[in-house]
Structure 1
Amino acid sequence: MTEEIKEVARPSVVSFKKEEFAKLIINDLSSSKSGRKFLKKYKQSEVREIIENYKDEKNQEKLREISLLIWAKSPQYQRLLKHFAGMATFAHVVPPIKEIRKMNKTKVMKQYVEIGELVKLMNLRHEMTKVLSVAFREDIFYGYIHKEGTKSFHIQQMPFEICKLSSVEDGVLNYSIDMSSFEKNEDQLYKWADEIQYKYREWKALKEKNPKISKWVELDAKNTICIKVNEDMLEIFPPFAGVFDSVFDIEGFKELRKDKEKLGNYMVLAQKLPMRTDSDNNNDFLIDKDFMMFFHNQASDVVPENVGVITSPMEIDPITFKENKADNDGVGKATRDFWEGTGVSQLLFSSDNNSSAGLAMSIKSDEEIVFQLLTQIERWLNRYLKGQFKDLMFNVSILPVTRFNQGEMYKMYLENAQYGVPVKNHLSATVGLDPIEVMNMSFLENDLLKMHEEWIPLQSSHTMSDPASVSSDQSGDEGRPKKDDADIADETSRDRDKPNS
């Protein structure tokens, strides 16, 4: 019996539609983002434009907002501001400003104690560090003083949006507040200071008679404090706005590094479709679509997420993204540019090199910026004392002492005190004692506890040899004591670390 063989008609051309071919990309490796923004509200180009046009009041408000956002998102910017705001120790003394030798001693002593107690109540180190934190971030700090007798003292930060510089008194800035801001929330007015409540009602009564009256009303100078970093300009300009661009660069390079690391973990498996070599038709594949899809899906189901599968009739050449051997870390370069832009040594926050001399000079430059603000605070403090005492005999003097030069200043005052210069209070201030503490601790230790009679004086290091430098056969010899590690040069430090030959 003859078996009939039927031929199955095969299409001369096996072609694909674009929609069907798109389905072959099972694992999509493209994770492109629609533009990067370090800040959701501002692009880098917009920030540059705002800085250039900082004289516009609206741009000044935007700069303050940008500074706040960057402070919240950039650890470099945050550490920079904390470096300056937390540098000062607010060591202070209360020197006389009048001839007190001929005055009533009881009266003089009474006022000295009262001023000492008031300044102690203020807790300058805590309150003024908060003031400087805001000032370095926003360029200006508006505050209102809340004092309850001898029990409590607090500086309330006033909202930037309702405050405006208005005058200068005794070299100290004063500000006004926008009374119209309370109109919509009069039920919340009780939360504000009595002076603000009184002046708002007074302003509202005047507005009913004259609707064109200014909305700005200046607060009493004895109840306010205003500190501005850029004191030589009226515009509000964050002192480190010049490095905003560098902060964007750091974050941008971080994203690029992430993308490069992510791309380096990708792999693509390419399956080549066989084609008929003896056919004159285009797209004439050796296998049909169903057969191809079966093996394509089989491969796609077993590969991990970071491996893509491509099925194509064309040759696919691998493309690799090799690292640039010459300084490929853009993040490190952008970070160095950031610190160079601030003028602050990067050595304070990293250990790229060990030049102690360069670091010391950089810190001194930073201290000069802080000292200017200490002068502002000192003038405000003495103006405040004028409002508290009718016949003021003393002022408060804030010493140029920081956490970095504390030891240096202590040695300077100690040497002067040894020659009879009246700086015992200055010496005590450098170790963190307030004037009222010096007076009371001296009375406590000398008169009550009589510690000077009970305690045996400690032996001085200048009369003792360094045990580590004395050998067993030279135990009786005295020599010069070793310097502290912080007081020696880099070369000396390295020589000490060398093993003995």
Structure 2
Amino acid sequence: MKKGRKRRGNYSNSRRIHGRTDRFAQILADPKARFKAGTAATTEKNNLKTYIKKPYDNAARIAATVREASVTSGVFAKVIDYYQSILTYNYTIYPVLGNKTYQLDMSGMQDAYTDIAYELRKYNIKYYAPYILKEILIDGVVFLYEVQDSTGSIEYLKMPIDWCKISGQENGVYRYMLDMSKVKSDVVGYLPEEIQTAYDSYQNKSGTDDTDKWYDKKWYFIENGVAFTFDINTLVNDGLAVSPMVGMIIDNLSLQQAKDNVDVKDSLDTVRLIHSKIPLDKDGVPQIDLETAKIFDNAIRTRMPEGVVTVTTPTALDNVPLTGSGNAGAYDTVGKSIEQLFYDLGTSSSLFGGSTTSSNIVKESIKKDAYYLYANFLPLLENYYNSKIALVKTSTDNEWSIKFIRQSNFTLDDDTKRLKEQLSFGGSRLDYMAACGFLPEEIVPKLEFEQRVMNIDSIMVVKPTSNTISGKQAASDSQAGRPTESNPSDDTERINDSQ
């Protein structure tokens, strides 16, 4: 009877959560875009230089400018795509010894492994991790609210950057607080129930003195939220962070200006002036009246092709080509601006078609960028997911931990080969299988299904080759098997199964 009530309660909660999730879908598709950061980007160099002098005080403006560059600048957009595609996000899980647990409880260990693997499956790691990385590179920090749908899967609602600040760190996981004064009445109805309750408290001025939930009577500590940033200095900079790409935004503006100069040069190179001279008498007086001259000018102007400008004056002027009158080094300026932009981004331009003297330069550049993410991004993910699986009650007393395999899509063969070679010296098979793309929830059911259900070894019979043939092959197959001599010739007898 108790089980039935519990199931009905869970089902009711799932329906209620699913209903809130539907409302989130509506606000995210709101054509009025009410639920977004309200800080505008700047396109003036002088303003940017002022912002960068005090980056943390202008974090929201810098984030808006970098985000605009990620859309309008092809170079910057491709660099973001490149960083997103470096990691494989393959991971494995393992039990942790210690903390008064010094041996594994073998009786229920496989069930515990399955429970943890299934819990991580709900977070759809390979889908959301690249998105989180992109937002960090653009905004410097990303504020997410966890939403659970009716199936138990976790999805994320991104909070506007100028509404939030990081409030602290717990076990390597950043937590944040939300400025309730920024939340508008026409938006609050689409927000999670926790934030709606906090909004009501803020409006009614009730409970905001509770320092465990509120700071300065308007900042609410979000319980079901998580923040990600590479900048640990955010803890001493008022909970704010700036994009690691901040150094490129001024050079990106220089690149855009250089491109505009090319457009001006191209326009000047194609313009032609056609001069219609008004005849003058010996005293310099026009021999036709201005109204007549205007008629002639309009007649010529309407018949000129695009790129040809007509001029009607009494002064002497011939057809004047403007080829080369623009900035002769405009294209060189663009090239140098792109080189400087890549330099500030810390990425080799050779990856994107730039000139290089060695393919090894490209390979080493990829490794450098991969190690940057290994050191900064993967620990953030591991701390976050470890905090989630620590809440899962399993059939054993052991804690569990997640580990992301340090491998790159660009050096996948080398990274996987290294783990394969370690197997000969006692390396982990789970790590190797994870490096091959197996998710933890795949390993046990897939292998058991292949061996116990399909009996796949009986179906996939290995074909005999010179490496797999035995010494007992049928006598009729006299040419099969390895030769009997060290230096065989075409007529050398070979060992077969009958021998």
Please indicate the TM-score interval, normalised by the length of the shorter structure. 0.7 to 0.9
Match for residue 461 of structure 2? 456
Match for residue 163 of structure 1? 164
Is 1:225 matched with 2:226?
yes
1:419-430 superposed matches below 5 A: 419-430=424-435
CA shift in 2, pair 1:425/1:336, >3 Å: same
RMSD: 3.2
Taking the aligned partners of 1:272 and 1:191, their CA distance within structure 2 comes to 71
1:431 to 436, 442, 447: 436
Is 1:370 matched with 2:373?
yes
Is 1:244 matched with 2:242?
no
Q: Which moved more, 1:338-347 or 1:325-334?
A: 325-334
The aligned amino acid for 2:412 is: Q
CA shift in 2, pair 1:43/1:448, >3 Å: same
Taking the aligned partners of 1:161 and 1:416, their CA distance within structure 2 comes to 48
Cα displacement (A) at 1:95: 1.6
CA shift in 2, pair 1:232/1:408, >3 Å: farther
Taking the aligned partners of 1:400 and 1:308, their CA distance within structure 2 comes to 63
1:233-264 alpha-carbon deviations (Å, 9 max, x no partner):
44421111111122212222222222222222
Taking the aligned partners of 1:311 and 1:40, their CA distance within structure 2 comes to 45
Cα displacement (A) at 1:368: 1.9
Cα displacement (A) at 1:459: 8.2
Match for residue 50 of structure 1? 51
CA shift in 2, pair 1:300/1:190, >3 Å: closer
Match for residue 396 of structure 1? 402
Do 1:118 and 1:150's aligned partners in 2 also have CA atoms closer than 8 Å?
no
Q: Which moved more, 1:397-406 or 1:449-458?
A: 449-458
The aligned amino acid for 1:380 is: Y
Largest Rg, 1 or 2: 1
Q: Which SS does the other structure have where 2:95 is aligned?
A: coil
CA shift in 2, pair 1:140/1:213, >3 Å: closer
Match for residue 14 of structure 1? none
Cα displacement (A) at 1:293: 4.3
1:313-462 superposed matches below 5 A: 313-316=314-317, 318=320, 320-322=322-324, 328-350=331-353, 352-353=355-356, 355-371=358-374, 372-389=376-393, 391-417=397-423, 419-457=424-462
Do 1:122 and 1:153's aligned partners in 2 also have CA atoms closer than 8 Å?
yes
Taking the aligned partners of 1:325 and 1:459, their CA distance within structure 2 comes to 70
Cα displacement (A) at 1:307: 1.8
Match for residue 72 of structure 1? 71
Cα displacement (A) at 1:117: 0.8
Match for residue 475 of structure 2? none
Taking the aligned partners of 2:434 and 2:180, their CA distance within structure 1 comes to 42
Taking the aligned partners of 2:382 and 2:288, their CA distance within structure 1 comes to 89
CA shift in 2, pair 1:441/1:219, >3 Å: same
The aligned amino acid for 1:379 is: N
Cα displacement (A) at 1:286: 4.5
2:272 to 264, 267, 271: 267
Q: Which moved more, 1:109-118 or 1:192-201?
A: 192-201
Taking the aligned partners of 1:188 and 1:50, their CA distance within structure 2 comes to 30
CA shift in 2, pair 1:106/1:147, >3 Å: farther
Cα displacement (A) at 1:285: 3.6
1:85-137 alpha-carbon deviations (Å, 9 max, x no partner):
33211111112212789543233222211001111221211011111111111
Do 2:41 and 2:68's aligned partners in 1 also have CA atoms closer than 8 Å?
no
Do 1:165 and 1:173's aligned partners in 2 also have CA atoms closer than 8 Å?
yes
1:200-240 alpha-carbon deviations (Å, 9 max, x no partner):
455542249999952112123xx322110223444421111
1:408-435 alpha-carbon deviations (Å, 9 max, x no partner):
1110011111x14242111111121111
1:20-59 superposed matches below 5 A: 41-56=42-57, 59=58
Q: Which SS does the other structure have where 1:315 is aligned?
A: coil
CA shift in 2, pair 1:105/1:147, >3 Å: farther
Is 1:216 matched with 2:222?
no
CA shift in 2, pair 1:168/1:328, >3 Å: closer
Taking the aligned partners of 1:286 and 1:180, their CA distance within structure 2 comes to 76
Match for residue 22 of structure 2? none
Between the two proteins, the alignment pairs up a number of residues equal to: 416
Do 1:445 and 1:451's aligned partners in 2 also have CA atoms closer than 8 Å?
yes
Is 1:87 matched with 2:86?
yes
CA shift in 2, pair 1:193/1:258, >3 Å: same
Cα displacement (A) at 1:392: 4.4
- Using structure 1 for the length normalisation, give the TM-score: 0.74
Do 2:97 and 2:103's aligned partners in 1 also have CA atoms closer than 8 Å?
no
Match for residue 31 of structure 1? none
Do 1:299 and 1:309's aligned partners in 2 also have CA atoms closer than 8 Å?
yes
Q: Which moved more, 1:192-201 or 1:241-250?
A: 192-201
Do 1:206 and 1:213's aligned partners in 2 also have CA atoms closer than 8 Å?
no
1:444-465 alpha-carbon deviations (Å, 9 max, x no partner):
11121121232133789999xx
1:373-426 alpha-carbon deviations (Å, 9 max, x no partner):
111110111122223338442211111122112211110011111x14242111
User: Where does the alignment leave 5 or more consecutive residues of structure 2 unmatched?
Assistant: 1-39, 469-488, 491-499
Taking the aligned partners of 1:189 and 1:65, their CA distance within structure 2 comes to 23
Do 1:253 and 1:331's aligned partners in 2 also have CA atoms closer than 8 Å?
yes
Cα displacement (A) at 1:329: 4.0
Is 1:153 matched with 2:154?
yes
Do 1:145 and 1:154's aligned partners in 2 also have CA atoms closer than 8 Å?
yes
The aligned amino acid for 1:406 is: L
Identity %: 20
